[in-house]
Chains A and B, each alone.
Chain A
Amino acid sequence: MSNAPENPPPPGRSWRNIRQEVQPVAMSRRGRRRRQLAWLKAGVLLTLAAAGGWGVHLAVHAWGHDRAALATAVHSDPVREVVLITDGVLTRAWVTAALALPRPSSLMALDLPTLRNRLLAHGQVRVAVLTRKFPDTLVVTLQERTPVARVQAADGAGQPRQLLVARDGVVYDGVSYDRQMVAGLPWLDGIRLVRTAAGFEPVAGMEDVSALLTTAQLQAPHLYREWLIVSLTRLAAADEIVVRSQGGMEAVFSRRRDYFKQLAQLDYVIDRTRETPAAPALLSVNLALDGQVPIRVQEEAPDRAPGVGPGFSHSNSQRKAKRDL
């Protein structure tokens, strides 16, 4: 025991003074692998840090010398080509015109959302995706609407104008469609077009009409070919779709019943009427009722060849063109 000195001497050597580093040869295989992983991790982080630093340096340099370069971020060439990929009929020329690209315009400087909105402003375009393909190509991928009917409206000058109606009720100007295909579409009746800033409001109930027309087109094309007017007058009130064919016959369909069954009944009624000796002309067939199909026939059969169905063409191959209203 002793009195405390002013500066006490340091205590003896502690285990903390033992050198802990181990030579690589004295490390186990697991230890060496662990050390390599640590170095790799450090290397990756160092590289990332260096890359980040270089990026910051470039940004600072660009800010000082060429601020416009920061806006484009990546140097690219002017747009030299527009590539169109579509599932419809629109052409590259139409797309180029619709896009109205400023010239010259760098690929990187293009405002893709604005260009996309320009394309979507046309009702025929349902989906539009624009992608840059470096160095100088703009790729436009479109999904188009398919018309199921047509409608007549007056343009700004009061002149009649033919518009197309898609399955989702969108009304639009058809572009690049085959004229014969358009002429084969039935007219819509009993609807009221409401103008909007971009065109017209979608037609209500077109899902049901489209289902009927598609079923008829696929299952009874000989009947569909004769359909001239599809009226939606009674759709909202009575769930009924009235179809007038070229021969003057009127068929009433219900959207509550299976369209395929109603078409089969119509086909049967037409066939049975045709087979009767008098072969009267059918004026109307009501398919909207369950269990019975009321029909109305002309009192005196018109002078026609025996076996010819009333109001329908004789042969499938002899298709009559639908009249334009």
Chain B
Amino acid sequence: MISNSSRIVAAVEIGTGKIAVLVGAITRGRSLNIVGVGVAPSRGVMKGEVIDYKAACEATHHALEMAEKRAGARIEEVWLAQTGGHLDGFYNEASVNVKSADNTVTALDIASVCALAKEKELPPGRSRIHEIRRPFRLDGRAVPDPEHLSGRRLEVGYWIVHGPESKVSDNIHVVGGYHLEVRELVLASLGSGALLTTADERAQGALVIDIGKGVTDYVLYRDGHVLVTGTLPVAGDHLTNDLSIGLRVTPAQAEMIKLRHGRGVVVTRDKADKVWLNGDASFGDRQLPKLAIETIAAARVGELLEVVRQKLGPAFSPEHCGAGVVLTGGTAKLPGIEEAATRVFGLPARRGEAPSWVKDELKDPMFSTVLGVFQFGLRTAHEHALPPRRKTGLLSNLTRIFAST
């Protein structure tokens, strides 16, 4: 049931493998009720980037229309998950001397240090996606809120995620082509991380890796804050490609083999152990060594996880990651991938599971990102001064309709 005071928001993920749309009714800015789902195979998207605008529009709009029909309500705004190898991030920090005579931190000091930390110029043609603040430090000690505390020097750092404006706008325009406005842009890894980890786990330190079809997103939490985010243009498709080349089969067959027999670690010992390519007694069907399949898959999975670790660099240390590694995304369904992650990161790894409030039909990893977009968006919505609760009445409705048109 959708009440009049609800905002109808769609969380959209334009992925390489599929387009996922969830429609939610948000009441009073905090209560979420999922009312519609739409999923369509993705087209015109490679490694998270739109390469064929028309094809991407058709696929995305099909999913949006499906979700809108199932919800029985008109979507008012979109919160879009953003991913792709074009995204990058850097850390910038700033410090100010506390101005008041008695060394008490004021709101002006906080605003000044925050503005300074965010002011770093980006290269031309790039747009900021996220500015994620790390804890304040007052005379070297970490404090969540320094206002009214005494100290001499106030420091703060921001993890700034940015991307090329042209590619970011491509994604936005795909949604705009359906006569909708993107109100929030949420990094896919932040969405997945927000959904699959608890506040306690983030405080202990956790690494969330979302391995999709075209890209791998990751986010590292420490002391409850986002430390690093990143996106790699390497994911399940590369695994399929390696199998296709290594086994000399078509990409479609390689995808099928990956889903049936692929593993994150090698468990087969017998070289004579073989599996059928198609398994349907058709012409051209042949047997393939299972050991070879597992070896190729495990090598690529291990390599992918190694790349993630290298990208994290010194930011990652097992002793600051007490909650371990959380894996999600379609490729994370590969058996044994937790074991591979444990070997690479030296930490316990597990597949991410949606929290209990998520309905069973939405617990599939394909919805992790869009559900996380809702969760992250709801948590941070107040930062961007979202419009207040929808007013009822003819004048308000007219104003809203004209504004939306």
Contact = CB atoms under 8 A, between A and B. Distances in A.
Nearest to B182: A20
A48 to B, nearest CB: 9
Nearest to B127: A15
B57 A31 contact: yes
Interface size class for chain A? 20 to 34
Q: What's the dominant secondary structure at chain B's contact region?
A: helix
B165 A34 contact: no
A79 B127 CA distance: 77
B251 to A, nearest CB: 28
Interface in B375-405: 394, 397-398, 401-402, 404-405
Contacts of B61: 28, 30-31
B115 A8 contact: yes
A20 to B, nearest CB: 5
A196 interface: no
Interface size class for chain B? 35 or more
B378 to A, nearest CB: 19
B179 A27 contact: yes
Interface in A34-92: 34-35, 38-39, 41-42, 45-46, 49
A34 B178 contact: yes
B394 to A, nearest CB: 7
A34 B65 CA distance: 9
Interface in A182-231: none
B116 A18 contact: no
A20 B171 CA distance: 10
Contacts of A31: 57, 61, 177-179
B308 to A, nearest CB: 25
A49 to B, nearest CB: 7
A180 interface: no
Interface string A263-294: 00000000000000000000000000000000
A13 B162 CA distance: 10
B343 interface: no
A320 to B, nearest CB: 77
Query: Which of B96, B109, B169, B178 gathers the greatest number of chain A CB atoms within 10 Å?
Result: B178
Interface in B105-159: 109, 111-113, 115-116, 118-122, 126-129, 131, 155
B168 interface: yes
Given A30-B61, A31-B177, A42-B405, A15 B185 contact: yes
B122 A12 contact: yes
Interface of A: 1-5, 8-15, 17-22, 26-28, 30-31, 34-35, 38-39, 41-42, 45-46, 49
9 contacts: A5-B112, A12-B121, A13-B165, A27-B179, A30-B178, A34-B178, A35-B405, A38-B405, A45-B397
